Structure 1
């Protein structure tokens, strides 16, 4: 992971889209601080198109799209995307999701995890999720141990679910997607840009192990400072890393992009 002093204008020149995680990347300890929102506005006002890519709920995604200066929000680890088309908010659902019977499969998974891992609990915003199942491990006390997290992941995978561990949740879903494949599908089907073009004109910002699929995809990637806490558990790290954590780190990333943007 390199310091921003090594970032070049040549790397930033082709970038039109800034893809970014939300929790603990734009936010700090679960809250949106002024510097995080200010960074979003500066990127927007300079012509960058910001797209959030989050394991958070579709309900949060709808809120972000309505309140923040962003083009789209891919939520629930790539399951669903909300975006504006001629002023109308549209929903794009990943094509691998089989809607029929999904609710029952999700219920069966939840029941099994909660019975086998008594200390596990659903995220308090589970009601706002359409396809994702989120087990809270670091958002609200009591927190789940590392052993508990691993047990939840193992059970979900045994039941055929995809999984990802963020800084606050164990996310599980049924479908052939993750943050990367959800983003690629949205760019292909809605923005009419193939994967190669997407990688060339986009960068990614994140903070946690579930961002690895994005770090490995984009030649230009950034981590906020708290990525250092997880680096020993990760095999794919961002190219550049901020000094500060959370929203202050995201503000650093925005500043580095703006400073190297060719006009």
Structure 2
């Protein structure tokens, strides 16, 4: 186990020990980011996987909400005890219905000509920021363009990350910066909007019920749209590494980074529910 992070000087974040049974009582769904929230440095630890099983076995339905590819989403859905995986920052959700894996695509995506627009954006970024590169799993993405800045060397500086974001905006793309990628897309959606659409169109749950029945776990700037939207939100300790880049923070924070932090959050939720 790694050393716990200190919450000293972070008065805006609550310690998990303050989580009450009343807050957890209405929660049915645990929405969670994946990279650096469930995983640690790109790997899934036994403790983090056990935390997913523990949540499922204690009545929580886990839905991953990730900037990761639809290809990874398909793997998570098949291998992990999760109900659905909202992939590519809200573009597509993979879920099971009657034993069959289905795809839900956000209604704002115009599929005709999408590949051509994406290629023009990719060419511009790789030309104007020579150090930039596509994510190694880009081949597994349906609608998202992921420029790697932190998962594989060489890593980009904050200035270079900002340049990539500006080029994407110039081409009319939406963006989100995670702990490892700059994600870009063409469509009116993000993690929040993708979640709202999936819950309404597929699960038949409106926004008011969604916010009451869900909590959210994350670690990075691209989780801010969920931290500010879902009243009961959690950050693994990694979120403290991004304090200078963030405006919206989770309500609670764990003492550990990545998967260790996720396990601590899962344990707190289960313990509060039992009380």
Q: TM-score, normalised by structure 2?
A: 0.95
String of CA shifts for 1:62-114, please: whole Å, max 9, x gaps.
00000000000000000000000010000000000000000000000000110
Alignment correspondent of 2:256 = 244
Aligned runs of 1:48-59 on 2, under 5 Å? 48-59=60-71
Alignment correspondent of 1:261 = 273
1:180 aligns with 2:192: yes
String of CA shifts for 1:17-59, please: whole Å, max 9, x gaps.
0000000000000000001100000000011000000000000
Alignment correspondent of 2:144 = 132
Aligned runs of 1:4-153 on 2, under 5 Å? 4-153=16-165
1:262, distance to aligned residue in structure 2 (A) = 4.6
Structure 1 CA distance, aligned partners of 2:151 and 2:182? 11
Check the 8 A contact 1:13/1:262 in 2, yes or no. Answer: no
1:5, distance to aligned residue in structure 2 (A) = 1.2
Moved over 4 A (4+): none
Tell me which of 211, 220, 233 is aligned to 1:199. 211
1:246, distance to aligned residue in structure 2 (A) = 0.4
Structure 1 CA distance, aligned partners of 2:125 and 2:207? 35
Tell me which of 139, 142, 155 is aligned to 2:167. 155
Structure 2 CA distance, aligned partners of 1:35 and 1:202? 23
1:151, distance to aligned residue in structure 2 (A) = 0.1
Alignment correspondent of 1:169 = 181
1:196, distance to aligned residue in structure 2 (A) = 1.0
Q: TM-score, normalised by structure 1?
A: 0.99
Alignment correspondent of 2:10 = none
Aligned runs of 1:203-242 on 2, under 5 Å? 203-242=215-254
RMSD value over aligned CA atoms?
A: 0.6
String of CA shifts for 1:225-250, please: whole Å, max 9, x gaps.
01000012111000000001000000
Structure 2 CA distance, aligned partners of 1:43 and 1:197? 20
1:3 aligns with 2:7: no
Q: Give unpaired runs (5+ residues) of structure 2.
A: 1-12
